[in-house]
Amino acid sequence: MIQKIVDIINRHQKFLVTAHVKLDGDAVGSELAFYFLLKGLGKDVAIYNQDKTPDNFRFLPGSDMILNTLPLPDSFEVAFILDCSELDRVGDEAPRIGAIKTLVNIDHHVSNGGFCEVRMIDPAASSTGELVFRLLTAMKANITAEMATNLYTAIITDTGDFHYGNTGKDTFITAGHLVESGADPQWISENIYENFPIGKIRLFARAMQTLSFDCQDRVGSLVIFLKDFEETGALWEHSEGLVNLPRSIEGVEISILYTELPDRSFKISLRSKGKTNVERVARAFGGGGHVNASGCRIEGNIDTVKKRLLEVICTSAWK
């Protein structure tokens, strides 16, 4: 399938690159690296995301080129849809993006059912960034410092700085090549993890007041309500990473972050340790992701949502 994607790149001139809503480092880093690849080949390329780039990823080379308004889809021959397990994950413009003649999906989510005829999917890969690196290697592309910085960011954010279960031998080999090509691990990490706005810290402090435990203390959870964003001055993107805090507690095997949405439903972020499968839990509510990191959305008030989710966790996560 890699050769088919290479052929598509070689045969066409006008490309759209996009990723999922609620952007993370893997989405932004992968699409920016892909942007530099295509520009280096003399292609016409635009990056579109529904959501604005989170503050802690705006240091990335090329981030100022990302558009938040979709150009006319008929001006593109090919759309590369990165880090998405389904087309709807790109947001409200999914129907118009889906109408572009040739769609190519590069993704590593186990819940990906193969919504594109042309696709590069490997759930064993640490990140979409690692898959983009494979493609660059197959093309014998010159990996510039800009590309390396973006792909290194993609990999470290999706592996939790190389300590999640999706980290394998190839992940370290890839990271080594990227450092060799100009990625600066210290500078990248400082920009991502040591440059938090005060609103994010206040939001974390507020959320920690909701810490609770269930299933004989094997499940730890936190809740963020809409009012918490307003009262702390935090943005939605500032909740990134909060779900990992309960998982760091001894004895906790599953960590949950419930985030209230404007429609009064809740976005559910799930993380787990070892072989505890939270993808199975998320899938029960129409979501998905990875064995140790998944998400979904559940309608209802917080008490109803918690009850429904915990019932599924108790019957599914430890099978």
Domain boundaries, the chain: 2-193, 198-316
Residue 74: what pLDDT? 87
pLDDT confidence of 251, banded at 50, 70, 90?
very high
CATH 3.20.20.150, domain 2-193, yes or no: no
Give the confidence band of 248 by pLDDT, cuts at 50, 70, 90. Answer: very high
Would the pLDDT of 319 be above 80? no
198-316 matches 2-193 in CATH topology: no
Lowest mean pLDDT among 103-117, 131-145, 205-219: 103-117
pLDDT of 250 > 90? The answer is yes
Look at residues 317, 304, 251, 221 and name the one whose alpha carbon lies nearest to residue 278: 317
Encoded tokens for 13: 């001139």
Residue pair 180/149 in contact (Cβ under 8 Å)? The answer is no
- Give whole-number Cα distances, 308 to 89, 94, 110, 267, 301, in Å: 24, 30, 23, 13, 11
Q: Look at the pTM and tell me if it is higher than 0.75.
A: yes
Phi, then psi, of 227 in degrees rounded to 5: -65, -25
pLDDT at residue 31, as a whole number: 98
Cα–Cα distance, 3 to 113 (Å, whole number):
21
If pLDDT is split at 50, 70 and 90, which confidence band does 165 have? confident
At residue 112 the predicted structure's pLDDT band, cuts being 50, 70 and 90, is confident
What pLDDT sits at residue 163?
86
**Does residue 88 have a pLDDT over 80?**
yes
Nearest to 224 by CA among 288, 278, 282, 267: 267
Cα 242 vs. chain centroid, distance in angstroms?
15
- Averaged confidence pLDDT in the chain: 95
The confidence band for 146, taking pLDDT boundaries of 50, 70 and 90, is very high
Which CATH number does the domain 198-316 belong to among 3.40.50.1820, 3.40.710.10, 3.10.310.30, 3.40.50.300? 3.10.310.30
Strand partners, 223: 258
Burial of residue 95 (CB within 10 Å: 0-12, 13-18, 19+) is exposed
Q: Please state, as a whole number, how many other Cβ atoms lie within 10 Å of the Cβ of residue 303.
A: 8
pLDDT surpassing 90 at residue 136: yes
Tokens in use for 284? 């029960």
For tokens 């008030």, what's the residue?
301
Would you call 297 exposed, middle or buried from its count of C-beta atoms within 10 A (0-12, 13-18, 19+)? middle
pLDDT band at 102 (very low <50, low <70, confident <90, very high): very high
